[in-house]
Amino acid sequence: MEVKILDAENKETGKQKLPAQFNTQIRPDMIKQAVETIQANNRQQYGADPRAGQRASANLSRRRRDYKGSYGKGISRVPRKTMVRRGMQMIWVGAFAPGTVGGRKAHPPRAEKIFAKRINDKERKLAIRSALAATMNKEIVAQRGHKIPTQYPFILDNTFEELAKTKDLQTAFEKLGLQAELTRGSKQKVRAGKGKTRGRKYKKATGPLLVVSKNCKTIKAAENIPGVNIVQINNINAEDLAPGTHCGRLTLFTHAAIQKLEKEKLFM
C-alpha cells in the first residue's frame, strides 16, 4: 500500500510504500489480549486492613458460670461486644461477624492479590503489527468514532518533528483537516454512575496519536492539545494504538518514523 506524504501546509511532497508491518492480518483477539495485559500490569494493589472490623473485644464465653458470658441469656451465639454493664448484667451488640453492623467484610479485597498478566513476546509483537495495520484502514478508523479527513490515510512530512510550539502544531493539524477531530477530543462529559464521586468525574474522547522517530521538540508541543498523544515509534505498544482494546485509532506517522520502522524491522 502506498500513501501520500503531506507537509504542514497540506501539500503533497511525495509518496511512501508502507513497510511489511502494515500488511499483517487484523486480529482483534490478539490486540485485546495485549492491551489487557498492559492494563493489568499497571494496576495498583489495594486491600482492606487485615484487622478492619475486628478491633472490638467481641469474645463472649459460652460457659455456664463465666463472667461476661452469654449462657442462659436466650440469645444467638453471634460474637458481641459489651456496650453497657449494670452489675452482672451486660448489654451487647453484635460485632466482628460479617452479618452484623460494623462487622468485618466477608471477603474484603486483599493487597496480596496478584493482578499481573503475561503475554508471549511473539504474540505481543503480532498484536502491535495488527494494530498498526488497523490504523491504515479508513473504515475501521471511522467506525471507532474518529472524524477523519478526506485524504486519510497519509504520512506527515519530517518538518512536523521540528515544530516546537503548540500553536504551530495545532495550526498544522487544522490545515490537514483535523479540526473536527480536535474539537471532539476537547469536549468533556460527566461520567454516569458512582465513578463521578471517585475522582473520575469527567470523560474525554480519545483523539489522534502522533508517532515520531526520536525525542524531538514536537513531544513537548503536543502535550497541551486535548486528546492528542505522542509517542516514539520504538516505544509504541498495543494500548497506544488501540485504547480500550478497540483497534483503529486515528494515527499520524512522520516519514522518519515509517523509515525507522522499516529499516530496524521493529516488532517483526
Q: What is the mean pLDDT of the chain?
A: 91
d(Cα 164, Cα 85) in Å, to the nearest integer?
Answer: 75
Instruction: Say what the pLDDT of residue 260 is.
Output: 95
Instruction: Say what the pLDDT of residue 237 is.
Output: 95
pLDDT at 59 over 90: no
Instruction: Say what the pLDDT of residue 79 is.
Output: 87
CB 203 within 8 A of CB 184: no
Length of the chain counted residue by residue: 268
Instruction: Say what the pLDDT of residue 65 is.
Output: 82
C-alpha cell at 107: 471477603
Instruction: Say what the pLDDT of residue 130 is.
Output: 96
Q: Which residues are bridge partners to 90 per DSSP?
A: 85
Instruction: Say what the pLDDT of residue 257 is.
Output: 95
Confidence of residue 24 (pLDDT cuts 50, 70, 90): very high
d(Cα 240, Cα 256) in Å, to the nearest integer?
Answer: 19
Q: How far is CA 209 from the centre of its chain?
A: 15
DSSP states along 86-106: ETTEEEEEE-SSTTSTT---S
Euclidean distance between the first and the last CA atom of the chain, given in angstroms as a whole number: 18
C-alpha cell at 67: 463472667
The DSSP 8-state label assigned to residue 6 in this structure reads: E
Q: What is the CA radius of gyration of the chain?
A: 29
pLDDT at 38 over 90: yes
Instruction: Say what the pLDDT of residue 173 is.
Output: 93
Q: Are strands 89-94 and 80-86 parallel, antiparallel or unpaired?
A: antiparallel
Lowest mean pLDDT: which of 44-48, 57-61, 86-90, 263-267? 57-61
Instruction: Say what the pLDDT of residue 56 is.
Output: 79
pLDDT at 88 over 80: no
Output the CA angle 53-55-58, nearest 5 degrees: 95
pLDDT at 80 over 80: yes
Average pLDDT over residues 107-136: 95
pLDDT at 37 over 80: yes
Give the domains, in start order, of the chain with CATH numbers: 2-42+118-263 (3.40.1370.10), 44-114 (no CATH)
The pLDDT tens digits for 149-196 are 999 999 999 999 999 999 999 999 999 999 999 999 999 999 999 999
pLDDT at 98 over 80: yes
pTM for this predicted structure: 0.84
Instruction: Say what the pLDDT of residue 146 is.
Output: 93
pLDDT at 77 over 80: yes
How many Cβ atoms sit within 10 Å of the Cβ of residue 26?
16
State percent of the chain over pLDDT 90. Answer: 75
Q: Which residues are bridge partners to 16 per DSSP?
A: 3
